[in-house]
Amino acid sequence: MKILCGVKRVEDPDQKIKVNPDGSWIALDGINYKPNPYDEIAVEEALRLKEAHGSGEVVVVSIGGEESVTEMRHAMAMGADRGILVKVSERVDSDAAARLLAKVVEREKPDLVILGRQAVDSDQGQTGQLLAEYLGWGQATFAAKFESLESEEEKAKKPGLQVQDGKVRVIREIDGGLEVLDVELPAVVTTELRLNHPRYASLPGIMKAKKKPVEELTPADLGVDVTPKVKIRKLSSPPERKAGIKVPDVATLVEKLRNEAKVI
Amino acid sequence: MSNVLLVAEHLNQSLKKSSLHALEAARQIASRSGGKVFGLVVGKGVGEVANELARHGVEVLVADDARVEHPLAEAWSKVVEKAAKEVSATYVVAASGSQSKDVLPRVAARLGAGMASDVIGFGGEGAEITFKRPMWAGSVIAEVEITTPVKVLTVRPTDFSAAQPGEAGQVRSLELPDLGTIRTHFVEFRQVKSERPPLTEARIVVSGGRGTRGDFSPVEALADQLGAAVGATRAAVDAGWVPNDLQVGQTGKTVAPDLYIALGISGAIQHVAGMKGSKVIVAINKDPDAPIFQIADYGLVGDLFQVVPELQKALTGK
Ligand SMILES: Cc1cc2nc3c(=O)[nH]c(=O)nc-3n(C[C@H](O)[C@H](O)[C@H](O)COP(=O)(O)OP(=O)(O)OC[C@H]3O[C@@H](n4cnc5c(N)ncnc54)[C@H](O)[C@@H]3O)c2cc1C
Ligand SMILES: Nc1ncnc2c1ncn2[C@@H]1O[C@H](COP(=O)(O)O)[C@@H](O)[C@H]1O
């Protein structure tokens, strides 16, 4: 079973992101980077499927600058077999990412593509669906599982996706509950937070990852025009919510809610 | 002339309220671009949904067919594409629920359109519309331009008011296009049933976090006393304490109630992204330095297991 995962380099979601004074981009001073959290979940799931099936290959793809190799090395330290860097000089939008990935998929012919439900920088949440459409494949977005992340199944590192008889069974977190779909392979799946807890990279894993191959491609190699369909004109900070007051006790709180805020 | 196609999210028997907020966004676009708004309802046995939408002053296309009973993106995207072409839509708009997030990117690919997700407002001049949308979990608002002739959007319901009923529009049926081979098969839907009001529609929301240590009874008791919906943080959902459907935040629901009560919630940016539009925020947390206090209108430092019962008592004694 061959699985391809997207790994995007993004700003660490645990730090505060601020806009540059001129609104051209975010302030990059002192910013740390990480693999997109949903992509780590994708890689973890791919590794579990490979382990459960006893064989296979997990290939990670990143579209970005040379520095994106760091995030791919992280995925390879977790256990992914090799990387493909599609080298771009400027950020690409989700549509261009999907068209580049489609070309990589045509070359690599994986059985399954697992992407994140969204990249936590642009928060668009489109690439997997676009990719599935460009490939003419079925899709299942927001993959999760019935069991919680504290369950025995999760502790046993069981995959949430079930691959059988040329199909992948996916439990999806959607509005109002959980939906189960069977998608014929090859297919595109995107991950939700509750699909798994990604493993940590072990020291031997990190050492091994340094020797794993990373192929470099360009949009020109793939014949893809990456001119964005969605252009960012400017960035601004959202209106700040002012801190209110601390109340000393419940009686004051109720009094304020009744007479000042008038919400109860 | 730039027509707008509104793709309705619905529950088979009734329109989702979020669709009326998306309709308001569609109207704002149409009034600037000089076009007309059309509605599209897809599903099986959805005639009443179509009528309900039409009562809000739009002409509605309805694709009512067993083959599109379940919202499979592969199939629905073809139906939306056909409807968009039939009404010469320049804009395809839907509320940013899980269904539209799943389907609309495929529609965009089929129409060669650029797409903006989770739009919260518009910029630009006249018919030159730009789209405002959050990035980095709402730490940043981007103003984006879509350069393609056709443009696809999901819009965040909490940032637009609900469209009011108007002179009823026509309802006509849309014949399904050739759906081709569909490689996705519906197996089952496990619905989360709740007696409480829906999270995204409630006037009051009481949410619990890791501070509950898995005991949501104070959250639920307070919610029930106030007729409120129950919400939660990712931490609480991940632990399996409450269903995923209750998560508020960047990748959960966006809520904007009159009153949001956060119990044992630290106030991480990803959570705040989903509730900072609330009119009044109350935070009860035992850590005086918890970031939630920086955005709360009324903060109370204390143990929720002591404070909530006291609060319940104080609320009874009018
Ligand atoms: C990609 C990504 C997406 C995410 N999406 C979301 C999302 O959509 N929604 C979301 O909520 N989070 C999301 N998160 C997680 C988010 O970053 C935080 O980890 C999460 O919101 C923390 O939940 P919490 O406040 O319940 O827990 P904690 O941060 O652990 O806070 C618990 C709080 O409870 C207080 N407390 C403890 N005991 C008591 C007591 N007895 N009485 C009163 N107070 C008490 C503590 O002082 C503390 O402040 C996301 C994270 C990532 C990386
Ligand atoms: N530049 C990129 N490099 C690698 N994967 C990407 C890139 N952009 C998007 N993806 C994949 O697509 C998912 C959704 O991204 P988006 O649609 O941009 O929110 C991400 O979680 C990744 O798996």
B16-42: pLDDT as tens digits: 999 999 999 999 999 999 999 999 999
Overall residue count recorded for chain B in this entry: 318
Handedness of CA B201, B206, B209, B212 (dihedral sign): negative
Contact between A183 and A139 under an 8 Å Cβ cutoff? The reply is yes
Pairing, β B151-155 against β B37-43 = unpaired
CB under 8 Å to B22, separation ≥6 — which residues?
Answer: B6, B9, B93, B94, B95, B155, B157, B160
Handedness of CA B71, B75, B77, B80 (dihedral sign): negative
Residues of B in contact with A123 (CB under 8 A): 117-118, 133-137, 250
State which fold the B204-316 domain adopts: Rossmann fold (3.40.50)
- The one-letter amino acid code at B152 reads V
B187 touches chain A (CB under 8 A): yes
The pLDDT assigned to B20 comes to 98
Q: For residues B198 and B191, give the distance between their C-alpha atoms in angstroms, rounded to a whole number.
A: 13
A133 touches chain B (CB under 8 A): yes
Handedness of CA B296, B299, B301, B306 (dihedral sign): negative
Confidence of residue A37 (pLDDT cuts 50, 70, 90): very high
For the segment A94-117, the average pLDDT, to the nearest whole number, is 98
B318 has a pLDDT exceeding 70: no
B240 has a pLDDT exceeding 60: yes
- Out of A187, A230, A246, the one facing B299 most closely (by C-beta) is A246
Q: Most distant CA pair in chain A: distance in Å? A: 69
- Structure letter (DSSP) for residue A19: B
Angle, helix B304-316 to helix B217-226, in steps of 10 degrees:
20
A 8-67 near B (Cβ less than 8 A): 11, 13, 16-19, 26
Q: Where are the domains of chain B?
A: 3-173, 204-316
What percent of chain B stands above pLDDT 90? 97
Does residue B291 have its Cβ closer than 6 Å to ligand 1? Answer: no
Ligand 2 pocket test target in A38, A127, A195, A218 with most atoms within 8 Å of CB: A127
The pLDDT assigned to B317 comes to 74
Q: For residues B261 and B244, give the distance between their C-alpha atoms in angstroms, rounded to a whole number.
A: 19
Does residue B236 have its Cβ closer than 6 Å to ligand 1? Answer: yes
Map residue B250 onto helix, strand or coil. coil
CB under 8 Å to A166, separation ≥6 — which residues?
Answer: A184, A185
Q: For residues B299 and B304, give the distance between their C-alpha atoms in angstroms, rounded to a whole number.
A: 12
A117 touches chain B (CB under 8 A): yes
B300 touches chain A (CB under 8 A): yes
Half-sphere exposure of A82 (CA within 13 A, CB side): 9
Give A24 Cα–ligand 1 centroid separation in angstroms: 31
Give A114 Cα–ligand 2 centroid separation in angstroms: 10
For the segment A217-242, the average pLDDT, to the nearest whole number, is 97
Nearest to B139 by CA among A13, A41, A71: A13
Under the phi-then-psi rule, with left for phi > 0, alpha for psi from -120 to 50, and beta for the rest, what region is B287?
beta
The pLDDT assigned to A68 comes to 98
Does residue B122 have its Cβ closer than 6 Å to ligand 1? Answer: no
B184 has a pLDDT exceeding 90: yes
Mean pLDDT across chain A, nearest whole number?
Answer: 97
The rounded Cα B148 to chain-centroid distance in angstroms is 25
Q: Please report where in the chains the tokens 């006893």 appear, as a residue.
A: A54
Angle, helix A127-135 to helix B98-111, in steps of 10 degrees:
50
Q: For residues B243 and A158, give the distance between their C-alpha atoms in angstroms, rounded to a whole number.
A: 21
Nearest to B141 by CA among A24, A238, A145: A238
The rounded Cα B136 to chain-centroid distance in angstroms is 18
Give A54 Cα–ligand 1 centroid separation in angstroms: 37
Residues of B in contact with A146 (CB under 8 A): 190
Map residue B52 onto helix, strand or coil. helix
Overall residue count recorded for chain A in this entry: 264
pLDDT tens digits for range A13-31: 999 999 999 999 999 999 9
Atom of ligand 1 nearest to the CA of B251: 8
Nearest to A96 by CA among A143, A139, A64, A140: A64
Confidence of residue A186 (pLDDT cuts 50, 70, 90): very high
Residues of A in contact with B134 (CB under 8 A): 123, 238
According to DSSP, the residues that pair with A211 across neighbouring strands are: none
Confidence of residue B237 (pLDDT cuts 50, 70, 90): very high
pLDDT tens digits for range B248-303: 999 999 999 999 999 999 999 999 999 999 999 999 999 999 999 999 999 999 99
Write the CATH number of the domain with boundaries A2-235. 3.40.50.620
B 122-161 near A (Cβ less than 8 A): 130, 133-148
Ligand 2 pocket test target in A94, A121, A122, A123 with most atoms within 8 Å of CB: A94
Map residue B19 onto helix, strand or coil. helix
For the question of whether the overall pTM of this predicted structure is more than 0.90, the answer is yes
For the segment A57-62, the average pLDDT, to the nearest whole number, is 98
For the segment B199-209, the average pLDDT, to the nearest whole number, is 97
For the segment B70-75, the average pLDDT, to the nearest whole number, is 97
Atom of ligand 2 nearest to the CA of A68: 3
Contact between B277 and B295 under an 8 Å Cβ cutoff? The reply is no
- Three-class HEC string of B173-239: ECCCCCCCCCCEEEEEEEECCCCCCCCCCCCEEEEECHHHCCCCHHHHHHHHHHCCEEEECHHHHHC
A262 has a pLDDT exceeding 60: yes
The two domains B3-173 and B204-316 share their CATH topology (first three levels equal): yes
Map residue A43 onto helix, strand or coil. helix
CB under 8 Å to B186, separation ≥6 — which residues?
Answer: A179, A180, A181, B69, B70, B72
Q: For residues A140 and A187, give the distance between their C-alpha atoms in angstroms, rounded to a whole number.
A: 8
CB under 8 Å to B232, separation ≥6 — which residues?
Answer: B207, B208, B209, B216, B241, B242, B246, B247, B248
- The one-letter amino acid code at B252 reads G
B 9-28 near A (Cβ less than 8 A): 11
Q: Is the ipTM of this complex over 0.95?
A: yes
- Structure letter (DSSP) for residue A174: E
Nearest to B81 by CA among B108, B117, B63, B41: B108
A53 has a pLDDT exceeding 70: yes
Contact between B145 and B152 under an 8 Å Cβ cutoff? The reply is no
Cis peptide before A186, with omega less than 30 degrees from 0? yes
State which fold the B3-173 domain adopts: Rossmann fold (3.40.50)
Give A4 Cα–ligand 2 centroid separation in angstroms: 12
Residue B289, both tokens: 């330095």
Nearest CA in chain A to B242: A148
pLDDT tens digits for range B133-156: 999 999 999 999 999 999 999 999
Q: Where are the domains of chain A?
A: 2-235
Instruction: Please tell me the distance in Å from A42's CA to the nearest CA on chain B.
Output: 16
- The one-letter amino acid code at B36 reads K
